Structure formats: structure tokens, C-alpha cells
Amino acid sequence: MKKIKQVRIAIIAANFHPDITQKLIDGALATLQEAAITKENIMIQLVPGCFELPLACQQALRQKKYDAAIVLGCALRGETDHYTAIMNGATQGVMDVMLRCGKPVGFGLIFARTRTQALARCQGGKNYGSGAARAIISMLSTL
């Protein structure tokens, strides 16, 4: 993995499913530390759910002290269409923030039908938090 130092990363995590969120955070942290980004250069902020991620991400990036952000969270399909609205709103909102702020945002959101599917996406080599961190490392190296 490419080593990058001297960058500050904001991790914004939706805490609606805290056990899943923590696994995503752990995956992101492990990957960032493999790239020589120290804990002192990583800020973690929890928000209530996925819908709140874009605003919190935007606020962090506008502070000018973060070079990139990673958004993490999980939404599970329920019995209503609420899941679709959250999924679409969070996805578009995060994309808008990235383009408006001109800084990379790693997308580590899990949208799954079941809890079992979500858990499978936050463990081992399939950890979405780790994948989002790898994307940030790549983008920071590219930009």
C-alpha cells in the first residue's frame, strides 16, 4: 500500500447501527494506519444516521483542516420506501459535497436488504470502511 503522510482525514460515521458502524470505522482506521497516517491526523465524528452524513461531511471539509473525508454507515431495507429515500439522498448528498468542496470523499456506506448481508460487508477483505480508506489514499496520491 502506498504510504502518504502529512494528511488529515475526517471520518464521518452514521451511528444508527453502532455495531456495524464500529466495524467500518475499525477497517478504515487500519487501512489509513497502514498508509502511515497517524491517529492524530484522523478525526472521527458520529452522526445519527446516513441522511445526516452529507452535512457533517461538508462542515468538516469546509474547515480547511482536512484533506479528505470518509463517510461510513449502514441502511437496511425495511417494510417501507424510507430506505430508498435515505439511500438516494445520502449518495447524492455525499457526491455533491465532494464536488462542491473539491476534496475526495471515500464512500463506505452499506445499503443491504438484511443485517446478515450488512455484516458480511464490514468484515475481512470486504470491509467497506477499509475500501473507502483505500479509495481516499488512491485519490490523494492522484490529486
Catalytic residues: 82
Spatial contact of 70 and 108, defined as CB atoms under 8 Å apart: yes
From the CB of residue 28, how many other CB atoms can be counted at a distance below 10 Å? 28
Task: Please provide the DSSP assignment of 30-57 as one string.
Answer: HHHHHTT--GGGEEEEEESSGGGHHHHH
Helix or strand run (H / E) with residue 74: strand 68-76
Extract long-range pairs of 123-127: CB within 8 Å, 24+ residues apart.
123/23, 127/23, 127/24, 127/26, 127/27
Strands 9-14 and 42-47: parallel
